[in-house]
Amino acid sequence: MMSKKWVLLTNDDGIEAPGFEMLVKSLNLRGIAIIAFAPSNNKSSCIMQINLGKAMDLHNRDDLISKWNLDDSAGCHLFSLDGTPCDTMIVALDGGLEKVLPGIVPSLVVSGVNLGPNLSQDSYHSGTMGAAREAGLYGMPAIACSFTSFELEGMERGIEGSVQLVERALELLPTVPQNLCRPHIDADAFHVSKWPDQVGARNTKDAMKMLLHAFHHGELMLNINVPPTWNGDFQTTRLGMRWYRDAVQFGDDDHDGTVEARFTIGAAYIDTESVPKGDCDSVANDFASISSLANWPQTHPLALDDELLSHALKQGTDGFPLWFRD
């Protein structure tokens, strides 16, 4: 039986990204045991892309322990994988971690801290969120963490907000995950949807218990976004609404051979529309937004129904989701 809780870390910016380095240092300073299985290089915006049938090398990066002045007595193992964020989670959780570190099982997966926001529709593009969701599919509780600026100034706020959420999660979670690799798939579990049947209204106490159970079992993940102007407070949110305008940039017409045209994707500007309890509105008002997101599509047997998810918007006095406590 393991005596400590381990956090499995990944990201989509690559193992040597500043946000990842700062997160590792902060967790290590707090004495939290960590294992990094991060991409070797930047793999941003690759969603849930995986490499099928392609050999991927795993590199021991314990050289970073001395480079980053880490205390390895707290528990610290660093690896990089020549793959995508989702590849790192599949490899780690489906036998790779046991192969390189026998007997160590993570209690929680944390993806990030990403440089740049993962708000609203970013959830469909983000490699950071894709990795957390992949961990959830493997039955692991997971958190995606992002700093909403593309500049490093203020990143320490993104780290602090993320670490506070991680510390709370570790207080709530058992040392050994309850559902890793889903040994017993239970489509009748009390927290999953009964779709297409309708459910009645639940009382708050029952709903909170179901949501926490869903997080433990990988059906629900958390997504935190911390702005550079963070005021130190949290808000429980839903996904907001933002639109990327003029996302395609056109290159010059001087091409050779079969090239018909050249395009670059990168929005010229972003429109944001106000949504009650939306994450975009929250960070715009200098709060750290925390959204509870279902990992499975709405019609999947392990999905969470709309009535239950409405309870996930209930907030405690500390700004954390009301379900996110004992």
Q: Residues 67-82: pLDDT tens digits? A: 999 999 999 999 999 9
Q: What distance in Å separates the CA atoms of residue 80 and residue 87, rounded to the nearest whole number? A: 11
Dihedral sign computed on CA atoms, order 162, 165, 166, 167: positive
Closest CA to 219 of 297, 106, 315: 297
Q: Where are the domains of the chain?
A: 1-240+275-326, 242-272
What is the tens place of the pLDDT at every residue in 158-171? 999 999 999 999 99
Mean pLDDT of all residues in the chain?
95
Determine the pLDDT at residue 110: 98
Per-residue pLDDT band at 2 (split at 50, 70, 90)? low
Determine the pLDDT at residue 254: 73
Range with lowest mean pLDDT among 214-218, 241-245, 301-305? 241-245
Q: What distance in Å separates the CA atoms of residue 135 and residue 51, rounded to the nearest whole number? A: 16
Q: Residue 21 — φ and ψ, nearest 5°?
A: -60, -45
The Cβ of residue 154 has, within 10 Å, a number of other Cβ atoms equal to 15
Q: Quick check: 20 pLDDT over 60?
A: yes
What is the tens place of the pLDDT at every residue in 193-233? 998 998 889 999 999 999 999 999 999 999 999 999 999 99
1-240+275-326 sits in which CATH class?
alpha beta
Record the tokens describing residue 233, joined without a space.
């407070």
